[in-house]
Structure 1
Amino acid sequence: MQSPRVKATGRAEGRSTVLSRRNFIALAGLAVTGATAGALIWRFQPAPDHDQPRLSVAEAFASAGSGQITLVDIRTPREWRSTGVPVGSIQIDMRRDDFTEALSVALQGDRSAPVALICARGVRSARMVRQLAEAGFSQIIDVPEGMLGSRAGPGWIAGNLPVARWQG
């Protein structure tokens, strides 16, 4: 069987434009490499700096369990469904337009109550810690390891801390 003739356009006569196996493998390799690089960049993205207190995930778990803090998971419902939620936490999606009001309700109106924020990798919690401090919450604490780990440490899940299925 003869191979199709290739026109000057680079397409074989009588064939639609399709990727060759070699080109497909090369593109797939680039996609995987790009996704891996993107995940690594995201994982090690520095969290915004702030001057609020920080807790390790183990400290946050112990403090929430003893009632010393309210632990708030600020991730999205999709993330809660995917990994579960930290035992002892409440969930308030940080994207809510009424996030500060919802947090205030959860704290029974006491903006001086100690509250610790956890997200996936500590970037969003650091941002929200700053915003909530500016909004008048006086004891906002960051859990910079997050659920999945960051530069601050391995995270809630890798730390083998208890996770509950999200009931949403």
Structure 2
Amino acid sequence: MTEAHPKFSRRLVLGVGAAMAASLPLAGFAAENAVITDQDAYTRQQAGQMVIVDVRTPQEWQQTGVAVGAEPIDMSDPEFLQKLVQLRQDNPGIEFGFICRSGNRSGQVQSYLAQNNVAGVYSVDGGMSGNGQASGWISDGLPVEPWTGQ
């Protein structure tokens, strides 16, 4: 199954990058391939240091649930980047950890934002279901909650 990715306009990305970067403390250059383990992401989330953003589709959220406390924002939603900006404004100075099924789509989002100078963004290694190198959120026994459709 091929994982889809949104088409972002350069103007929109620059606006999102500026909005997200403005709300993060300056920590040097954005890491283009910043990956975090699921356990580290969960620990940071529980400490109030990270927002986990689930970029999968509603069908996937329905099938497996979402990581407890994660913000489900389908990356194929035409308003994906605008929703990220709003989430960033609601959580100033907090890192973002993106999660998908296996780490592919979340890695694409993280890399794209980092290439546009957004710091403090990570891809959760292995995603929800694992990828052959990392077992994934569900297999690692981290908490999941049903998606309520909202």
**Per the shorter chain, which TM-score range?**
0.7 to 0.9
Aligned to 2:42: 61
Alignment of 1:1-168 (within 5 A): 51-108=32-89, 113-168=94-149
Assess if the C-alpha contact under 8 Å between 2:34 and 2:110 holds in 1: no
Number of positions where the alignment pairs a residue of Structure 1 with one of Structure 2: 121
Aligned-residue identity in percent? 33
| Higher relative contact order structure (alpha carbons within 8 Å, sequence separation ≥ 6) | 2
Look up the equivalent residue of 1:163 and give its one-letter code.
V
Assess if the C-alpha contact under 8 Å between 2:49 and 2:94 holds in 1: no
Assess if the C-alpha contact under 8 Å between 1:111 and 1:138 holds in 2: no
Assess if the C-alpha contact under 8 Å between 2:65 and 2:146 holds in 1: yes
Q: How has the CA–CA distance of structure 1 residues 132 and 112 changed in structure 2, closer, same or farther, with 3 Å as cutoff?
A: farther
Assess if the C-alpha contact under 8 Å between 1:113 and 1:138 holds in 2: no
* CA apart distance, 1:92: 0.4
* CA apart distance, 1:51: 3.0
Q: Larger Rg: 1 or 2? A: 1
1:27-62 Cα offsets, whole Å, 9 max, x none, are: xxxxxxxxxxx7xxx8xxxxxxx7332111111111
Q: For the residues of structure 2 that align with 1:151 and 1:105, how far apart are their CA atoms?
A: 34
The TM-score normalised by the length of structure 1 is: 0.66
Unaligned segments of structure 2, at least 5 residues: 3-30
* Root-mean-square deviation (Å): 2.0
Q: For the residues of structure 2 that align with 1:83 and 1:145, how far apart are their CA atoms?
A: 15
* CA apart distance, 1:131: 1.6
1:74-121 Cα offsets, whole Å, 9 max, x none, are: 000000000000012111000011211101101116786410100000
Question: Mean Cα displacement is larger for which, 107-116 or 91-100?
Answer: 107-116
Look up the equivalent residue of 2:123 and give its one-letter code.
D
Look up the equivalent residue of 2:118 and give its one-letter code.
F
Unaligned segments of structure 1, at least 5 residues: 1-37, 43-49
The TM-score normalised by the length of structure 2 is: 0.73
Q: For the residues of structure 1 that align with 2:66 and 2:91, how far apart are their CA atoms?
A: 24
Q: For the residues of structure 2 that align with 1:124 and 1:58, how far apart are their CA atoms?
A: 19
* CA apart distance, 1:152: 3.2
